[in-house]
A and B are shown apart, each in its own frame.
Chain A
Amino acid sequence: MLKETIDILTSYPISQKRCIMGNIAIARGAIEAGVNGVFSYPGTPSTEISEVFNYVDSFLSNPDYRQIYPVQANTKIYFEYSINEKIALEKAIAYSIGNRSSMCVMKNVGMNVASDALMSITYQTISAPLVIVVCDDPGCHSSSNEQDSRYWGAMANVPLLNPSNPNEAKEFTVLAFRLSGKLKLPVIIRTTTRVSHSRGIVNFGVINADDRIAGFERIPEHINIPARTAAAHSRLLEKLNDPEISAMQRESCKIISGNENTRYGIITSGVASEYVCEVLHDNKINEQVYVLNIGLVNPFPEKVVADFLKNNLQKILIVEELEPITENAIRVIAQKECINTEILGKGFSGLTVAGEFNIDLIKQTLFEFLDLQIGKVQKQPLENVKEFTELLPPRPPVLCAGCPHRSTFYLLKLVIPREESELILCGDIGCFGLGALPPLKMIDTINHMGMSISMAQGLSEALTRYENSKIIDVDQDNNQHCNSPKPLKTVALVGDGTFFHSGLASLVNAVYTRANILVVIFDNRTIAMTGRQSHPGASQNLPKYNQIEIAPLLRGLGIEVVEEFDPFNLRDGFAKLNKAMQHRGISVVIAKAPCVFLPEFIDLHPVKKKIIVEESLCNTCANHDDEAIVCSRCYSSRSNLSRARAKLFAEVSIPGELQLCPANICNHGFFNSILEGDYKSAVEIVRDKMLFSKTCGDICHRSCELMKIETDEKWNEEISYISTGNVPIKALKKFVSSFDNNYLDFSAPISRAKNAEKKNKKIAVIGAGPSGLSAAYDLVQNGYEVEIFEKQNKPGGMVAFGIPWFRMDKSGFEYEAMQLEKMGVQFHFNSVLGTDYSLTELSESFDAIILAIGMWHSKKLDLIEMSVPESKRSDALTFLKKFNSGISEITAEITFVVIGGGNSALDTARAARILNPKNRVIITCIEKENDMPAFAEEISNAKAEGIEIIPDSYVSNCSCEDRINIVLNSFSNKEFLCELKCDFILTAIGQSSDSDALIEINRNKFDSSGRILSHENNPIAKNIFIAGDIHSGNSMSVIGAIASGKKAAVDVRKLLENYGFNYEGEKALKELNNLKGKLLDYTPVLNSGNIEGLELKTIRDEVERFNLYQSCMKCNHCIDNFGCPAMIKVNGKVRIDDDRCTLCGLCIDVCPNDAIHWVSDPVLVNQSVPL
């Protein structure tokens, strides 16, 4: 642009030909006519005209240029970007009244804003020439409508010229100045996009210096009061009869093809004339048609047209884009002149009112008009073009990579989850309007310049009144309309340029009328869409402009909440947007960061670095390698938004690998489903791996919650994290299982089992405890036929018989276990190994056996066995089994001593207390209290129930007469501790296996506690696998049993179908087994205490404290919710396109998987700047 500007100035004084754009030609025309002042508001397709003068301005103020071009420096053209078109035209009028020639430049819709000034000044007078340039946009390439500005000529009674190519644009501009000076009336030059943005050869003429002397003439015409206006109207009409007009009509309306002896005539105007000429010329029929081009549209050249019509033409076609303005005028002339020649126009062939013309349309129309057949053409189109051009992906414009608007929209998405809120987002004109398109889609309305703030006010009023006070209640008290506690608020989105253009007045109205709206100002420090012009809020350091800061201006208006933030700081932006959202009344948030094309943008962002995506963390499943393993996590962009929100705002950030489940449940997916409020998916994610969501919610050892994490270092400069612990998976499992609708529906696993590809292999599972049931669950879903053999009359094993009812919901367990029947598993109850069948028999009739019979024999203390009669003692398991079955004989008030410090001991003690609340119960165990293997909560529950615990003690002596006498010594120093009297002794010092049932197994395969030794993956006999507590090395826990059963199922699959993956929960299972007695070392992290009975809202707040993140296959977050054009997806992985990346670094904060980061790249420094 600078080059073209210098060019049009330095071409003085020699006449010469240049190839320039139509808009530049208009600027040259104005300079040749000696324009003194140019006033404008930028708007495509008019902008380049103003830009020339913007550069002329800086050119003239540069002393170097003044020295090189002294003549041009003397022209002293004043230029300004006014805040809107009305102000621009008003100042141009005033400039003219001050006797300096002026020009006012705008796009089509700009004239609507300026029309008040236009419609009045015509009744008055100007002094020096005033030319208004209005650029229309047929086809709406970059405008909100395709209005035909030629109407303004007739409407305001001012001359209007309509050039059809760049050279004509320049010529007409010179003519316009001449005519305006003569008539003392503004003259309009109207162009269209295809004239303004076409380049063509333009003949530069001589630049005339304007020798007018500035001054103000005190005359009555400058005062517009009703008494004078009626006469003024007649005076205006009189001006249009000036002989100069007739001269102009002849000068601007020309025959451009053919001669009067042809049969056909065409009258055309604007760029359409070029298409007509080209088609005629291209088809060598230019001599056959007589063509008149209309330059001056108002006052309409009646004489010229009448003469044309009077030729002996057979028919006449009128070709003009948009409205039939010349056509209607021509028909009136024909009627006045009694001319009967057929006149065709709009509606004929391809000639429409709407849309832009093109060569093909004109060609078709002309051939039809001339009754010609489109014969065999020289240039043959390709075959099957349709096949290659149909269904191509469209490419709508997108916000640039690094655009601060994208970041603001992203923040809006985080603050205002669209599905949950009743918010309406009212957008405006500007680059940021692209936020209405996918993937952002954060705008509900866009109207004309500056309407957003009025739209928000009006909608807010309408909706509030329509819904009565109901919606207002929704804000504050109940949240039945949405899951989030966001108030209903209407949001206006407006750009910085538009805000000053016309938004400010509307904002004043909003303050005045106490509107309840949020206004977000997208302040990218420039009017970006038209090429980065300055505006009052961003004067771009130009000394002639004064910069107005928006925030103090708004505070001055009395707006209470005015927040300013940098959109590249997501945390700060979120906090401020959120605050503004919550405010009742009017609040304004200014998102302030430079457009990527401004030099300030480059200054903000680092060099010598580039951004990469770690492929191993992008769209991979961190939970399992076998992609065939079912995953019920629902993909949705919303779910990924909640992950992204967690990344930014959670107090605790935990990588998924620190919270692994031995049963391989995807804790990450489970947790994030809860985070997004999808509790059904959360339950299903548990059931992808096992049956027992409710049971684990009650009694899981939650090894996944054990590990503590450190404060997240990355963000510590802004936010210090509270390292309180891990995500409370167990409590959440219980929570999600508490919704009956979700919990009772097992249809997904049942249908997986029914639809599995049948393997035609039979598996026998011995023992219906958690481990055997879990093995069966996995195998039946993989197409195996499974039969379960159980000694008892119902499933459950230790869970059903060993754990007392007050620890868990037994009915839940039974319901979960019996789903296997529906999945096709066959149960054989009351079937005893070693009595009813043998391992050898089974191993012959089944393809594989999983032995999971548990540890049902209690260990015994010889001292007790010998000194206490059988009626006054019991082992814990026998006691609990009776207790659970409700057949315990002991009812009288007595004293119990329980020996042992594990969960069984605690359960037994609590059960004894429940038998009769007056019972005294004392626990003695060898461990110190902090080392007791029982759960901490079990211990504290027991204490709360009045159970006495004597830690670090053992029974050193025991005798029994009427009552039992016990002597306790200290375990650590063996000294006497105390003597007790009791009535019943319960021993809970561990279990062993049932050696009778396992008679077929070689004794050397057992360890000291009677558990079976087995190498990893190896069956103990050719097709017999072991699982659960019976497996030496497994810790005695329900989750360990489940994991062990799942692992056995994998081992079976390896044997029978050469399954190629190891058990995916192996790592966590090993950790669990290593922990053994250390499982007590944690404190519950849920602030709100018991999760049961909490409001959903509280759960949401609670879980939002955490971010449990890991890479996930079901992530497309950056593409779906952010959509930076520098992020591309190749082979399922996101990649950064270095050519497009602007190093804003925002994607690093956006990625919920933490897969994106900076790397050093010194090569980038040498790369040149784009042209």
Chain B
Amino acid sequence: MKTNVKILIAGVGGQGIVYLTNLIAEAAVISGIPVCVSEIHGLSQRGGTVTAGIGLGEFNTGFTGKANVDFLIGLEPLETQRCTNFIHRQSVVIFGNNKILPHSVNAGQVQYPDTNSFTDYLNGQCKKVVYVDEFPAGINTIHHNVFFVGIASGINEFPLSVQSIEEAISRTVPEIQIRQTLNAFRMGYEYLINPQTV
């Protein structure tokens, strides 16, 4: 297991990005891995572009430089593409087909970039690309965030264990939502390990 890993989470305000960083930080504390996180609160939460960085291991900041992110978890495809600068040849990129159209696209001023050509582009260059074209039935949109972490937890290079994340979920989620959240996480984990079951 690799110790020093930088994770970047990209998405749209309201998708649960702050929660996700919180969850990963908690899992790191549980695993005894040093962790630092950099996030932005406030106006950008209102449906705008949001990114948050996490450093697991010997880092001073969760903030990250170009071509320096080992795991890019994209909660929305356009926002994933916006972060292409930050990934490198050994990066793992996890994202899915859950577009949120910005106003300029709805208004017909610009086109939403073609996700397929972006996926092809990544596939040729990154170490691993997981693109969820169709989310398994039973995954609510609000659980896309934990679903993606579930996928990440099934990848060898990801430094956090399934157990530590599950423990972190039960610590960070209100009691009545724990079961559903754990379920979404599990489905993410299974997605790569055993794709035919989901």
In whole Å, how far is A572's beta carbon from the nearest beta carbon of chain B?
A: 27
* A1123 and chain B: residue at smallest CB distance: B103
Residues 526-570 of A at the B interface (beta carbon under 8 Å): 529-530
Contacts known (A274-B60, A379-B88, A1123-B103); A197 close to B39, Cβ less than 8 A: yes
Give bound CA distance, A596 to B64, whole Å.
Answer: 34
Give bound CA distance, A397 to B121, whole Å.
Answer: 28
Say whether A1170 contacts B67, CB under 8 Å: no
Give bound CA distance, A392 to B112, whole Å.
Answer: 8
Say whether B90 contacts A379, CB under 8 Å: yes
Give bound CA distance, A278 to B61, whole Å.
Answer: 7
B170: Cβ under 8 A from any A Cβ: no
Contacts known (A142-B44, A197-B40, A392-B82); A1116 close to B108, Cβ less than 8 A: yes
Give bound CA distance, A281 to B13, whole Å.
Answer: 33
Say whether B105 contacts A393, CB under 8 Å: yes
B138: Cβ under 8 A from any A Cβ: no
A240: Cβ under 8 A from any B Cβ: no
B195: Cβ under 8 A from any A Cβ: no
Which residues from chain A contact B59 at a C-beta distance below 8 Å? 278
Contact with A along B162-198 (1 / 0, CB 8 A): 0000000000110011001100000000000000000
Say whether A1171 contacts B88, CB under 8 Å: no
Which residues from chain A contact B104 at a C-beta distance below 8 Å? 393-394, 438
In whole Å, how far is B142's beta carbon from the nearest beta carbon of chain A?
A: 4
Residues of A within 8 A of B (CB-CB), count: 70
B159: Cβ under 8 A from any A Cβ: no
Say whether A359 contacts B63, CB under 8 Å: yes
Interface of chain B: mostly helix, strand, loop or mixed: mixed
Of the candidates B22, B78, B101, which one forms a contact with A392 in the assembled complex, judged by CB atoms under 8 Å apart?
B78
Which residues from chain A contact B121 at a C-beta distance below 8 Å? 382, 384, 388
In whole Å, how far is B51's beta carbon from the nearest beta carbon of chain A?
A: 11
Which residues from chain B contact A68 at a C-beta distance below 8 Å? none
Which residues from chain A contact B37 at a C-beta distance below 8 Å? 19, 21, 198-200
Give bound CA distance, A110 to B159, whole Å.
Answer: 41
Say whether B118 contacts A199, CB under 8 Å: no
* A357 and chain B: residue at smallest CB distance: B63
B43: Cβ under 8 A from any A Cβ: yes
Contacts known (A18-B29, A45-B42, A394-B102); A380 close to B61, Cβ less than 8 A: no
Say whether B113 contacts A392, CB under 8 Å: yes
Of the candidates A165, A358, A388, A1119, which one forms a contact with B118 in the assembled complex, judged by CB atoms under 8 Å apart?
A388
In whole Å, how far is A953's beta carbon from the nearest beta carbon of chain B?
A: 66
Contacts known (A389-B85, A392-B82); A199 close to B36, Cβ less than 8 A: yes
Contact with A along B51-66 (1 / 0, CB 8 A): 0000000111111111
Which residues from chain B contact A434 at a C-beta distance below 8 Å? 43, 46
Give bound CA distance, A275 to B21, whole Å.
Answer: 20
In whole Å, how far is A609's beta carbon from the nearest beta carbon of chain B?
A: 19
A1003: Cβ under 8 A from any B Cβ: no
Say whether A281 contacts B58, CB under 8 Å: yes
Say whether A395 contacts B102, CB under 8 Å: yes
Say whether B65 contacts A438, CB under 8 Å: no
A193: Cβ under 8 A from any B Cβ: yes
B137: Cβ under 8 A from any A Cβ: no
In whole Å, how far is A5's beta carbon from the nearest beta carbon of chain B?
A: 14
Say whether B38 contacts A529, CB under 8 Å: no
A194: Cβ under 8 A from any B Cβ: yes
Residue of A17, A18, A383, A1128 contacting most chain B CB atoms (<10 Å): A1128
Which residues from chain A contact B29 at a C-beta distance below 8 Å? 17-19, 201
A514: Cβ under 8 A from any B Cβ: no
Say whether A1139 contacts B141, CB under 8 Å: yes
Which residues from chain A contact B34 at a C-beta distance below 8 Å? 201
Say whether A274 contacts B61, CB under 8 Å: yes
Say whether B38 contacts A194, CB under 8 Å: yes
Give bound CA distance, A274 to B60, whole Å.
Answer: 5
In whole Å, how far is A176's beta carbon from the nearest beta carbon of chain B?
A: 23
Of the candidates B25, B46, B63, which one forms a contact with A19 in the assembled complex, judged by CB atoms under 8 Å apart?
B25
Give bound CA distance, A530 to B45, whole Å.
Answer: 10
Give bound CA distance, A855 to B93, whole Å.
Answer: 79
B106: Cβ under 8 A from any A Cβ: yes
A141: Cβ under 8 A from any B Cβ: yes
Other CB < 8 Å A-B pairs besides A199-B36, A396-B102, 13 of them?
A: A19-B26, A21-B37, A45-B42, A197-B40, A201-B34, A275-B61, A377-B67, A382-B88, A382-B89, A393-B110, A1119-B107, A1129-B106, A1137-B100
Residues of chain A at the chain B interface (Cβ within 8 Å): 3, 17-19, 21, 44-45, 47-48, 141-142, 165, 193-194, 197-201, 271, 274-275, 277-278, 281, 358-360, 363, 377, 379-385, 388-389, 392-400, 431, 434, 438-439, 529-530, 1116, 1119-1120, 1123, 1125, 1127-1129, 1137, 1139-1140, 1167-1171
For the complex of A and B, the 8 pairs showing the least CB-CB separation, nearest first, are A142-B42, A397-B48, A44-B42, A359-B65, A199-B37, A381-B67, A379-B88, A397-B46
